[in-house]
Amino acid sequence: MIPASFAPMLLRMFLGKKIFPKIAEAIAEHIAKMFKLPQMVDYMELPNDADRRIDKLEDQMSVLVDDSHPPVINQDEWEDVKATIKKIKNKKAFKSLNAK
């Protein structure tokens, strides 16, 4: 049994330098057609539907970022408001228990 690594060397010896490149090129083209490599390369390299959708979303995001503004109150102020509301609720609950 001949190892696979000797196959290219044996082909060059028997087929010469003129025939072997043509055979190798024909094999490469056949494999490329079998696996649809030209279509895959075109899909990856050329703009397609997914690229257009992503560009559209990026444009929408940039418009939203440009139109946005910082919050009216910061996080600390919001926590103070929530704490105040909680205190008011607790006072009302306590008063309603004492009223009965």
What is the per-residue pLDDT for 92?
67
What is the per-residue pLDDT for 95?
65
* Tens-place pLDDT, residues 48-78: 899 999 999 999 999 998 888 777 888 899 9
User: Cβ-count burial of 99 within 10 angstroms (0-12 exposed, 13-18 middle, 19+ buried)?
Assistant: exposed
Q: What are phi and psi of 70, to 5 degrees?
A: -70, 160
In the chain, what are the domain boundaries?
4-74, 75-100
pTM for the full predicted model: 0.39
* Tens-place pLDDT, residues 11-57: 777 777 777 788 888 988 998 888 898 888 888 889 989 999 999 99
Which residue stretches of 1-100 are H helix? Answer: 7-34, 37-45, 49-67, 75-99
